Amino acid sequence: MDSPGYNCFVDRDKMDATIQDLGPKELSCTDLQELKQLARQGYWAHSHALRGKVYQRLIRDIPCRTVTPDASVYSDIVSKIVGKHSSSSLPLPEFVDNTQVPSYCLNARGEGAVRKILLCIANQFPDISFCPALPAVVALLLHYSIDEAECFEKACRILACNDPSKKLIDQSFLAFESSCMTFGDLVNKYCQAAHKLMVAVSEDVLQVYADWQRWLFGELPLSYFARVFDVFLVEGYKVLYRVALAILKFFHKVRAGQPPESDNVKQDIRMFVKDIAKTVSPEKLLEKAFAIRLFSRKEIQLLQMANEKALKQKGITVKQKSVSLSKRQFVHLAVHAENFHSEIVSVKEMRDIWSWVPERFALCQPLLLFSSLQHGYSLARFYFQCEGHEPTLLLIKTTQKEVCGAYLSTDWSERNKSGGKLSFFGTGECFVFRLQPEVQRYEWVVIKHPELTKSTSLVSPETTTTTFSSLSHSASSDPADRLSPFLATRHFNLPSKTESMFMAGGNDCLIIGGGGGQALYIDGDLNRGRTGHCDTFNNRPLCSENFLIAAIEAWGFQDPDTQ
């Protein structure tokens, strides 16, 4: 063994062949793109010694705040903090989930060292209020550290990263919860088949997605987690979303059509991840992860900010350590059978639609804004009832009993800014759908075909701050109280405007989707409509191409705490 010091905390009998140094001994690469490829390919994955050197280099290069605790600090404080306790009996810090402390083939000395290091980190980082991923990170780093002090220093550098564009580990409940919501949004867009399964088999799908970090930082076997961590240190947080999405895709592929192993899909996924070696290799898992063409890092950052804003509005703070399950509102909790009534859709159908909307609005309950049976068949009255609400949900029932509609991201009052001309507005979160005779959703064409555009850079903090406050999600006139414009078209270099014709409204018609046709066209009397293929959503007709309207409704999103 070339580097026995790296393994002083490891139970070699448990490690089997994974501890062997079979790969290259040195890494001379300095180019970031080349380093990304080497990390993804597992260049240092089969050399325990080289991986230790690479981790040392990558973590050393993390930009950190000026005063970051180092190895000497650990030596100074560890005896005072640990006292006379034996390492195995040490309590864990409050910010750690006690059920999520993987051993990763550590021996008794290593497991005790993890507890000591976590307690010393808690002493030096009093602002950390929730960080369930940290035990896994410390346990892995201990494999590649000469002693506890070096492992402590590496973990501290990861926590003290001060590059706003390089998010690494969630350190508050607010950040953690918004990450869970963001993951749910990404599942909704990139794993629609898996999402449909989760909605069907779980009472509260957000509870399932709240487990996504545990899949990575707890359930994944050591050899898999190490491969993920290799790439994570090079590319950052987005890698975690990619791998978790890939896990869900594989889970759906294996379980689709099979009866559930238990009545708890959350537990089923945990067991699947724990035994993932039976299904897929680390190489195939990463290959699947990087085949998913996600939004840009900056676009995901805007989505995360929007979700954080929504949580803050519900009273969740940075200092908060946890939240009661009753605080989580999702599909089956948001649409209550006893107080929901629609002339167009059933409770079950509305729950299905609710499972498609962005997580930050799925926290809300449906609020009827307009009904043709109550308010009459008037487009002017439709606008009057809907203005001041963002987003809204449009539902249409034809005289042939077909049901279709659209989720519309932007306040209808935006139409007034075009000086009386019919012009399109909205964002890429808009989508159209049909429910009868069959269920089908069509999202922005760019989501499934990112090759149509190249996301523009939103690099400076000033730009991000300005953008964050530039789109209202409510009737509030205070820019500081507005949500960020996730998927605003100005963030993308689109070849033409036809890919961004989301919604338009004039005095004599309402249009959803454009370019080569319209997904929905409704006349000013709310009497007749037509539907066809459009470039914006790349959809098939949502119902009969020319139809008569039996009923039309518009729904808003009401925070249950304001009722």
Which tens digit of pLDDT belongs to each residue from 101-120? 888 999 999 999 999 999 99
Separation between Cα atoms, residue 541 and residue 520, nearest integer Å: 9
Q: How confident is the model at residue 13 (pLDDT cuts 50, 70, 90)?
A: confident
Separation between Cα atoms, residue 148 and residue 160, nearest integer Å: 18
Q: Is the pLDDT of residue 4 over 70?
A: no
Q: Is the pLDDT of residue 77 over 70?
A: yes
Report the pLDDT value the prediction gives residue 386, as an integer from 0 to 100. Answer: 97
Report the pLDDT value the prediction gives residue 487, as an integer from 0 to 100. Answer: 80
Summarize the confidence of residues 315-336 as an average pLDDT.
Answer: 55
b/e burial code for range 219-235 (CB count within 10 A of at least 16 → b): bbbbbbbbbbbbbbbbb
Per the CB < 8 A criterion, the answer to whether 396 and 405 are in contact is yes
Q: How confident is the model at residue 131 (pLDDT cuts 50, 70, 90)?
A: very high
Note the pLDDT tens digit of each residue in 191-231.
999 998 888 888 788 889 999 999 999 999 999 999 999 99
Please indicate, yes or no, whether the overall pTM of this predicted structure exceeds 0.75.
Answer: yes
Distances (CA, A) of 265 to 135, 184, 244, 272: 25, 15, 15, 10
Q: How confident is the model at residue 526 (pLDDT cuts 50, 70, 90)?
A: very high
Q: How confident is the model at residue 549 (pLDDT cuts 50, 70, 90)?
A: very high
Q: Is the pLDDT of residue 123 over 60?
A: yes
Q: How confident is the model at residue 475 (pLDDT cuts 50, 70, 90)?
A: very low
Q: Is the pLDDT of residue 494 over 90?
A: no
Separation between Cα atoms, residue 215 and residue 180, nearest integer Å: 12
Report the pLDDT value the prediction gives residue 18, as an integer from 0 to 100. Answer: 52
Summarize the confidence of residues 225-248 as an average pLDDT.
Answer: 95
Separation between Cα atoms, residue 362 and residue 266, nearest integer Å: 20
Separation between Cα atoms, residue 269 and residue 504, nearest integer Å: 42
Separation between Cα atoms, residue 191 and residue 187, nearest integer Å: 5
Report the pLDDT value the prediction gives residue 260, as an integer from 0 to 100. Answer: 64
- What angle separates helix 297-313 from helix 238-255, to the nearest 10 degrees? 90
Separation between Cα atoms, residue 320 and residue 172, nearest integer Å: 7
Report the pLDDT value the prediction gives residue 551, as an integer from 0 to 100. Answer: 97
Q: How confident is the model at residue 324 (pLDDT cuts 50, 70, 90)?
A: very low
Q: Is the pLDDT of residue 483 over 50?
A: no
Spans of all domains in the chain: 12-160, 173-314, 347-446+494-558
In the chain, the amino acid numbered 283 is E
- Homologous superfamily of 173-314: Ypt/Rab-GAP domain of gyp1p, domain 3 (1.10.472.80)
Distances (CA, A) of 319 to 98, 131, 341, 480, 561: 19, 12, 39, 21, 21
Q: How confident is the model at residue 67 (pLDDT cuts 50, 70, 90)?
A: confident
Other CB atoms within 10 Å distance of the CB of residue 20: 12
Separation between Cα atoms, residue 486 and residue 492, nearest integer Å: 11
Summarize the confidence of residues 335-346 as an average pLDDT.
Answer: 85
Q: Is the pLDDT of residue 327 over 60?
A: no
